[in-house]
Each structure stands twice: as structure tokens, then as C-alpha cells.
Amino acid sequence: MSGQSLRLRLLLAQAASVVVALVLAGIGLTVLFERHLERRVDAELATYVRQLAAHLVINADGALTLEAPLADPRFAVPLSGLYWQIEDQKTGTVLRSRSLWDDVLPLPVDEPEPGQAHRHPLPGPGNTVLLVHERLVLLDKGAGDRRIRIAAAVDRATLDDARADYVRQLATALAGLALVLVAAAAVQVWYGLRPFEAVRRAVTAVREGRAKRLAGRFPYEIRPLVQEVDALLEAQEQSLAQARQRAADLAHGLKTPLTVLGSEARRLAAKGETGVAAELDRLARDMRRHIDRELARTRLAGAAGRGQATALAPAIDRLVETLRRTPIGAARDWQLDVPGHLRVAIEADDLSELLGNLLDNAAKWARSDISVEAGLDAVDVRLTIADDGPGVAAAELDQLGTRGHRLDTTRPGHGIGLAIARDIASAYGGSIAFANRQDGGLAVTLTLPAAQLPTGQASTR
């Protein structure tokens, strides 16, 4: 798919939207996870602080002690990342978890209000950063309240590790989700653009002459386009019909003056004014050639663009059968080798005129034998019409098929048949080549685009 492909653009837009949406979703989910994790950790530290306060007692001698250790074993493992500390502000006594080892939590100078929780990021053992949850507890002991600061802390790296592990798992899940969504988007784009493929097939059917209008049930969004194309096709048909009618009217209008001109030439010749008669006859023939050439071109206008599909063998059989009824054609031995499956992208009437001119030319110049062979060459059909006549001088080969060029003025015709044949072939994307045969005679090779060959059909040549 090129950069101008609508399918590619839609797919890239869908993929970009999916990626942007999932990236934003990933960032949002990560932020929510961090906040949730911090709340969970803070709630856990608050629980530890309450447990410490519940187990804290003052002995008869005024010393602080814990009745029972905390249940989490990490408090007993040195530098485990989970710590607690109790500080008696009256006596300066500090109780610490074994996990702190020789370190002390550097609690800030500002003291919290009794019962109010304070949270601090503080430096911890081994250049770590701790999240600290602290409360001030007042213990009533006869002589007055004892102000006790209780703190529980956790290594920030523990949270960072949990966040990194979550991000890795989330990225994997989002990547998988992105693939699924992009695949779903590709299916949506394919399904959404299917009507355009139906339009393309309908246009192809019109171009190949299998339909005159776009046929099918199309979505509401495409129907205006289909209606405009149908309107364009109808307008084109009307314009072509009018052009052909005008050309026919023009030819009919010129036919009478040309007949009069020919009669005048013959009258002058009978009086002995042969020079003037020859000039008038030449002018009449030139005008007839121009009219025939332009009529052929007018008929071709637009018809070649419809790309009809016409069977080749039946068209040749009909033309050869017709020629065999003429004196010249009956005297020739026709050898036909045209596979029945070959079809050419050309209108039937134009194919008949094209082949008729070539076959008539071969019959006119052949001594006895004419061969017609056809086969498939890649995407083209090649048809060779060969006769055993005198051939053509090498210097004259390039002149064949040019307007009004005749090699022998003693033979009947205006010298326009091959020119019309070449115009028809060219209008349908084909070509005509002339070459002398090694054993004598002329070989005319006609190349036309193939149409509707069966799948996997191989060339028969």
C-alpha cells in the first residue's frame, strides 16, 4: 500500500490512536497504582505505629519497654527495609527495631500534635530513602504525661521495585491489547472499504462492456458518487451518439456532391479533357478517404474506452466464411488456427472491421494460401495473418497503414483499409506490425489486450 492509499491512511490513523490511547492509559494506570501503593504502605505503617503504641509500657522504674515484638519478621532482619523507632522525649530513651542495626531514624525537629500522623521522606541506612509514618503518643504516668514519638518506616526502593514490576507487566498487557486493537482496526478498515471494492468491480464491468451502469446495492454514503458516475456515463453515451449521428449526417450530405463530382470527371474524360478529369477524380477519391477515416475515428471515440470482451475465433470464422463467397476469397486456401477460448478487449463491430480489413488485404495480395494463427502472449493476444503474395519492399514496410498510402494503384480501394485497422488497434491499446516472410509473402501481426481468460489459462502457442 502506497502513501496515497486510503486503507493505509485509515489503518495508520487507527494504529496511532490506539497507541496514543494506550500510552495515556498506561501513564494514568501507573499514577493510580503509585497512589494506591503509597496509601497501602502508609496504612500498613500506621498499623505498625498503633501496634507499637498498644504494646508500649512504662516499668516501675520509669523505663520504656515493649510487652511483645511486632509479628512481621522483617523487623528482626538487619537492614531489611522495614523499621520502627520509639523515642521518649523526657528521658531521651530510644528503642529501635533490630532491622535498624546501629542506625537511628533522624526524625525532624517539628513535633506532631498528639494523635496526629506525620509523614516524612527521610534518609535511611545505606544511603536509602525512607517513607516514615510518625505519631506523638502521651502516656499518663502519675507525675504527668510522657511524650513518646513512635515512627515506622519503609525503604522507598521497595515501592520503586513494585512500581517497576507493575509497569513491566502493564506494558506487556498493553502491547498485547494494542496488537488486538490494531488487528480489529484492520478488520474494520477492510470491512468499511469493501463498498469501494464493489464500486471498482462495477466500474470494471462498465469498462469491459458487461454493464452499462453501476449495478449493486451500495451504502448511503457512496450512493451520491454512484449516481454521479451513472449520470456521467449516460451523458457520455448521449454525447457519443450525437457525435456519430452528426458524422453520419455529414457523410450523407457529402455523398451527393462527391457523386456529382465523379460524374463530371467522367464527362470531361469522355470529351477528351483527361487532365482536368484526372484531377477531379483524384480530389473525389481524397475526399472519400478523409470521410471514411473520420467516420471510423468517430465510431471509435468512446467505444474503445469501454473495453468490450469479444471472442476471437467466431469473429474470424464469420469473416473468412464471407470472404469465401467472393471470387478472390474462394480462390484462396484458408488455414485457421485460432483457439476458441481467446477473447480480446474490443467491441465486436470494431473487431469485425479491424479483422475484415486485414483479411481482405491478405486475400487481395495472396497467390493461393492464407494462414491465420492466434495465441496468448502474457496479457495480450497475438494474431498473425500471413499470405504467400509478393510481399512488400523493405523501404515500404513502414509506410503501410499510413493515411492514403497505396502500394499498387491498379488494385481497387482507397488505400485506407490498413490505416483504419491501425487506428482501431491503437484505440484499444493494441498495435499492428508488418514484416516480410522468409519464404515470400507478407505477415501482419495484430496485438490486442486479452479479456476474461480463464484462471490459469496457458498460451497455446
Asked if the model's pLDDT at residue 450 lies above 70, the reply is: yes
Which residues, including other chains, have CB under 8 Å from residue 259's CB and lie 6 or more apart? none
3-class secondary-structure state, position 180: helix
Write the pLDDT tens digit of every residue in 158-193.
Answer: 999 999 999 999 999 999 999 999 999 999 988 888
Neighbours of 444 (CB within 10 A): 22
Residue 83 φ/ψ, nearest 5 degrees: -140, 160
pLDDT (0 to 100) of residue 299: 62
C-alpha–C-alpha distance, residues 415 and 409, integer Å: 9
Asked if the model's pLDDT at residue 424 lies above 70, the reply is: yes
| Mean pLDDT score, 136-165 | 85
pLDDT band with cut points at 50, 70 and 90 for residue 39: very high
| Mean pLDDT score, 287-300 | 66
Whether domain 12-162 has CATH 3.30.450: the reply is yes
* Average per-residue pLDDT for the chain: 83
Residue 442 φ/ψ, nearest 5 degrees: -110, 140
| Mean pLDDT score, 14-37 | 94
Query: Which residue would you say has higher pLDDT here, 132 or 399?
Result: 132
pLDDT (0 to 100) of residue 51: 92
The three cell numbers of residue 340 are 476458441
pLDDT (0 to 100) of residue 453: 45
- Please answer whether residues 95 and 85 qualify as being in contact, where contact means their C-beta atoms are separated by less than 8 angstroms: yes
CB < 8 Å & 24+ apart, contacts of 286-291: 286/404, 287/254, 287/258, 287/261, 288/258, 288/414, 289/403, 289/404, 289/414, 289/415, 289/416, 291/250, 291/251, 291/254
C-alpha–C-alpha distance, residues 431 and 424, integer Å: 9
* 307-449: CATH number: 3.30.565.10
pLDDT (0 to 100) of residue 409: 43
C-alpha–C-alpha distance, residues 33 and 96, integer Å: 31
- Residue ranges per structural domain of the chain: 12-162, 224-300, 307-449
Instruction: Identify the top-confidence range among 170-179, 295-304, 324-333, 436-445.
Output: 170-179
Instruction: Identify the top-confidence range among 139-148, 253-262, 315-324, 407-416.
Output: 315-324
Asked if the model's pLDDT at residue 276 lies above 80, the reply is: no
pLDDT (0 to 100) of residue 156: 93
Global pTM? Answer: 0.53
Q: What's the order of all strands across the beta sheet hosting 333-337?
A: 333-337, 369-377, 380-387, 442-449, 431-436
Q: DSSP alpha helices (H): ranges in 386-438?
A: 417-427
For the chain, how many helices (H) and strands (E)? 8, 14
pLDDT (0 to 100) of residue 207: 72
Asked if the model's pLDDT at residue 104 lies above 60, the reply is: yes
